[in-house]
Amino acid sequence: MVWNWQQDDWPLFRWDKGVLAQAEAQFLKQSGVLIGATKHFNEEDKNRLVVDLITGEALKTSEIEGEYLNRESVQSSILRNLGLAADHRRAPPAERGIADMMTDLYQHFDKPLSHTTLFNWHKMLTNGRRDLKDIGCYRTHDDPMQVVSGRLDKPKVHFEAPASKYMQKEMDAFILWWKNTAVGGKHPLPALTRTGIAHLYFVCIHPFEDGNGRVGRALSEKSLAEYQGQPTLIALSQTIERNRKAYYHTLESNNKNNEITDWLVYFANTVLDAQNYSLDMIDFLIEKTKLYDRVRGRLNARQEKVLARLFREGLDGFKGGLSAENYISITGTSRATATRDLQDCVEKGALIKTGVLKSTRYHLNIKLQKKKMEGRLSV
């Protein structure tokens, strides 16, 4: 197999600019809408949006790689990093590390990209790891860096990256490309085009012993933030994770030559979906405020606890909706009391009831929930 980096035109990627024109225009339009929407938030709501998005990105960029972290520990670390109120939870190294990297990305998106930036991210990301030889530096091992699957005795090689001895040269070229293609650079590229190339280019070099996918997705968000002049606040990793098979398949389909239109179209659409998700999150917070205004002082402590739990579940909510059993588990109350409380929540406009008997479920009484139930929400 001859990989893209083994060909004479590496890394001179080629693509059809016309195919991407509409997506680039849509990105600019939606960026304006997203930036404008956040201006209506007070400081508390904006902080909540930022923390929720960074937390979601930290969790999902890890889940794409098959690593499942504790949400509360990640969020607690992010809150502390941002100087916001947080508990004194002692986060495990992996949770603290990804939180540190994602917070650094948010706070310092406008700093020039350098080897040091990447090394620091890698050290954060691999916090607590004892199984890696090269931490906070490019890989040095002699073995081929391969992406494989299948049985140990009959592995399938999806990709093989350049040898470790070429890492410094490849990454020098990557960072120079990053500088030259930025806004104000020698060869500036449109936002989605640059972001898509940056991700593919980086993961094909595969400079680290581990963590390349997570660093690559962080670079994608940094690229978009640089273009906008502020943190993107889009749910990129959350969107990718929803169909990670398509993500890996499209990456694999575009690592054998340097004509990458298919990859750029896929990635551009993914970014647009991520923007839509973030806009839905903003609407979710607005609807949350409206619902609490409607029921303020009218619910008992059990109902308020369940309502808060439902909102903590975010846009996705409880899978299949809240059941009476869920209510009993959260509050510790009896079935009869749970039934009365839930019916009262429906009558007061806090919840919507669907189904009958054992199939009865409850959902937040907000427009976004109704859209989701009708199958029209972008999540």
What is the distance of C-alpha 235 from the center of its chain? 4
Q: How many domains does the chain have?
A: 2
The CATH number that applies at residue 93 is 1.10.3290.10
Domain presence at residue 202: yes
Q: Please say whether the beta carbons of 378 and 276 come within 8 A.
A: yes
- Statement to judge: residues 75 and 165 lie in one domain: yes
At 316 the pLDDT is 73
- Which backbone phi and psi does 153 adopt, to 5 degrees? -85, -10
Q: Please say whether the beta carbons of 363 and 289 come within 8 A.
A: no
Domain presence at residue 287: no
- Statement to judge: residues 23 and 136 lie in one domain: yes
Residue/partner pairs of 42-51 with CB below 8 Å, 24 or more apart: 45/285, 45/289, 47/82, 47/84, 48/285, 49/233, 49/281, 49/282, 49/285, 50/82, 50/106, 50/231, 50/233, 51/75, 51/78, 51/79, 51/82, 51/84
CA 124/CA 118 separation, integer angstroms: 10
The CATH number that applies at residue 351 is 1.10.10.10
Domain presence at residue 286: no
Alpha-carbon Rg for the chain, nearest whole angstrom, is 23
- Statement to judge: residues 90 and 182 lie in one domain: yes
DSSP category for residue 254: T
- What are the pLDDT digits (tens) for 324-343? 999 999 999 999 999 999 99
At 376 the pLDDT is 43
Side-chain half-sphere CA neighbours of 86 within 13 A: 20
- Statement to judge: residues 252 and 330 lie in one domain: no
- Statement to judge: residues 206 and 83 lie in one domain: yes
- Statement to judge: residues 71 and 163 lie in one domain: yes
Last residue in a domain, options 250, 281, 312: 281
Containing domain of residue 336, as a range?
297-373
Last residue in a domain, options 221, 255, 281: 281
Which pair of tokens denotes residue 274? 């991520």
Residue 160 bridge partners (DSSP): 146
- Statement to judge: residues 247 and 347 lie in one domain: no
- Statement to judge: residues 98 and 177 lie in one domain: yes
Q: How far apart are the first and last CA of the chain?
A: 38
**Confidence label for 374 from pLDDT (cuts 50, 70 and 90):** low
- Statement to judge: residues 210 and 319 lie in one domain: no
Average pLDDT score over residue span 178-183:
98
Residue 322 bridge partners (DSSP): 362
Q: Please say whether the beta carbons of 143 and 163 come within 8 A.
A: no
pLDDT of 371 strictly over 70: no
- Statement to judge: residues 85 and 178 lie in one domain: yes
Domain presence at residue 288: no
Average pLDDT score over residue span 171-177:
98
DSSP category for residue 173: H
Domain presence at residue 290: no
Helix (H, G, I), strand (E, B) or coil at 97: helix
Last residue in a domain, options 221, 254, 281: 281
- Statement to judge: residues 213 and 336 lie in one domain: no
**Confidence label for 1 from pLDDT (cuts 50, 70 and 90):** confident
The Cα-based distances of 97 to 28, 75, 104, 137 in angstroms read: 32, 12, 11, 16
CA 126/CA 122 separation, integer angstroms: 6
- Statement to judge: residues 258 and 229 lie in one domain: yes
